[in-house]
Every structure is written in C-alpha cells, then in structure tokens.
Amino acid sequence: MNQHFCIDLFAGAGGLSIGLEAAGFTCLYANEVSPAYSATLEKSHPNALVETGDIRLVDSASVRRTLQMNKGDLSLLAGGPPCQGFSVNAPIRSTDDQRNHLFRDYLRFVEEFEPKTVLIENVPGMLSFEKGQTVKEIIKALDQLGYAATVRILYAAHYGVPQMRWRAFILGNRLGVDPHEMFPIPTHFAKGRANFTKSLDGQNLVLPNDVVNDITTLPFTNVEAAIGDLPAIKASDSEVDSAKYISEPDNDFQRYVRSSSKRPANHKCSGLGPTNMERLPYIPQGGSWRDIPHDLLPEGMKRARRSDHTKRYGRLHPEGLASTILTKCDPHWGSYIHPNEDRIISVREAARFQAFPDHIQFYGSLTEQYQQVGNAVPPLLAQAIGTAILSAVFNRTSSERKLTPWHELQLSMVV
C-alpha cells in the first residue's frame, strides 16, 4: 500500500492534520504563526517538521528541498487561511484586510509542490465575501495550475461531531477525478439550519435535510454522549494529573476520543464573576438568558427583545448538539454553560465537542487553549474528508464515475 503524505498550512492546533492522519495520510510539515499553537502541534505531530512563523516569509522551495520531495510527490496540500477577514461576524469585511490574501501563500505552495490533491478550509462567510469573488478567484487560480476544484459547505454534525458547526471546503485534484467525488457522504442525521449564503452563481452548496435523512443511518452525537464520562469540576479548580474518567466509555464517540488516553487533560475552565454565578442557577437545560430574573440581567439585555440573542447565557441540553465552539466560551456569547454544573464548559469539554481525541494536549495559557480549540477543524470531520479523498483519488478500483449526492446537488438551483 502506497504511503500518502500531506502538508498542513495555517495549521492552528492541528485538527485538520490529526483527522487526515487518522484517515491514512502522513503529515510531513506544518506551519503555524502562533508559538502556543505550535507547541500543541509539535506534541501531537512528533514526526512532522513544525515551523513557527509568518507563512509570507517562508520559502516554499526550501521546504520542499528539506522534505526531499520532487514536484508531484505530495499527495495532499491542506490548509485553512485565517478566516476572520472572510467571516460574516467580522466587524470589517474588506479586500484591504491582508488576512484575506493569505490564500495566495497557500497557492505558492501549490505551485512549488504540485500536489496531487488540494484542500482549502474556511468559514461559510467566504461565499458571500465580495459576492463570492474570492472563492471564484481561488478556484480559477487552481484551474490555471491544472486542478479541477469545487466548493461545498459541510455540517460537522453529519459526520459524528457533537456540534452545530458549518465549514466551507474547496477540494481539487490534478488527476482527472471529478472533485465532487472527494466530498464525504454524511453518516449521521442532524437537522442543520444554514444562516449564511449557501449558494454560488445560483448553485446550492449545502445538502438539504431530507437528502441527509435518506442517506444516513446513525443519529447525531449529543452532548451527554460527548462529555458524560468527564468528572465534575468547579470553576475555581485547577487541572490536576489525578483527574480521572468517571465511567468506562459507553458509546462509540467516547471510545474514539479515549482510545489513546488514560486521563482527560485540559479539563479546566475559566472562572466567572459573582454576578454571573448568581445568574446560572436560574437557567435550566436548554434554557437561556430569558430564564434569568430581569433584575439580574446585564443592563444591555434588559432592553432586549425576547426574540433577540437567542443563545446568550444558554445552558447545553444533554440530548442536543453543542453550539458552535468559538475562541472564547463566554456565556454572553452563546450556549457554553455546562448542562449539569454551574460553570462554563472546560477546555477538554470544548475539545470533545470539536471531536479532538483526549490524548491531544493543548499548551499555552487557558485563554490560548480555548482559542486553539475554537479555531480548529474538527478532526472527525477532517477524517471523513481524508477518507473520501483517498477513496476517490488514490484507492480507485474502477475508472467508472462515482455518482454521489454532491453530484445531484450540483444540478440543483436556488429558487
């Protein structure tokens, strides 16, 4: 069996490459600008060359020579250029934001390595940025370099990730394979509500709920299944080496995250002030700011309409999905209150909702640990994509076209 090598640019804490390696790739090189993120990367990728620094200053030819690779040897070049500039939540979405042009450095590596396949990840907001021109420019640039590429938006919960998380992926190859075959087929059913632009040039990029329902056989992974085996902690507790699981794994997800771990590292959470602590007992499972007595609400929220800020001060429901994990699990931002304890979720619990295996330890300050988890690609989602790429491009048993739901979506138009 041939070995398939990959490179991870803008690697963050390594969620993308962790998943790709679980699928069967071997990560040779990763670049990340943050020292704290790189510390996490180095520990989780001991056999890869991890380089810390601004990618704009990295000589791609020098990297290729260091890895002793010829052009065309690399199986996959993966990366997620910083998404803040593309995000619909960013305060300024401008072409003057230099972060929006870092994908050009990704393309430098494409030109230098000539990988067989390419993967670019970002937030769905990139589709509406400049009316989709950035995405079109990336696909056009890849085409000029010999790659057939396309973009789709995936819902992480469809692949066993216990979280409401949407991400856009551009996948392509230079081996003549239809890029639609490179996208993974959903395995878990969860209703997803897209609150973003989900089309490009009239073409839908998201699989409809009824299609997902027809092709999946598993229910989504809920909050209880994801974190129910983790010990209770208090907001003031420090993480200790003696922290232990409270039960044996009782579902496939727990068996997956615990397969190489003896204890739940990073099981520590940020503290809350006295006023916030006074609010939490009023919030039931699945509840939110609406359940807090009016006189205890923050001043700004006392004037809010009941239909506003639907997830603020939300307490997770054991039978539901976790909210999208952000870089700061602040109750004022959304549903980050533990389902049974009066505290916000810990770094490890956030990592569970992102489907990180427990043996992955996050380094840096507590703030940096939350940031690393929130910025990551869920490894289970990355594994699904990696498996689909290997199946479609490298492990083909026939030259026959493989029809998938993504081909049918290609033909659907936005009404």
Asked if 320 and 337 count as a contact pair (C-beta separation under 8 A), the reply is: no
Asked if 166 and 198 count as a contact pair (C-beta separation under 8 A), the reply is: no
Residues recognised as catalytic:
83
Largest CA distance in the chain: 67
Asked if 8 and 79 count as a contact pair (C-beta separation under 8 A), the reply is: yes
Q: What is the dihedral of CA 278, 239, 332, 160, to 10 degrees?
A: -120
Cα–Cα dist 415/365, whole Å: 48
- Edge-to-edge strands, sheet with 148-155: 49-52, 25-32, 4-9, 76-79, 117-122, 166-173, 148-155
Q: Which two tokens stand for residue 187?
A: 């395995």
State the amino acid at position 257 in one-letter form.
V
CA distances from 338 to 277, 345, 354, 405 (A): 13, 5, 15, 36
Q: Which two tokens stand for residue 414?
A: 């936005």
Cα–Cα dist 312/307, whole Å: 11
Phi–psi pair at 111, nearest 5 degrees: -65, -35
Cα–Cα dist 254/269, whole Å: 20
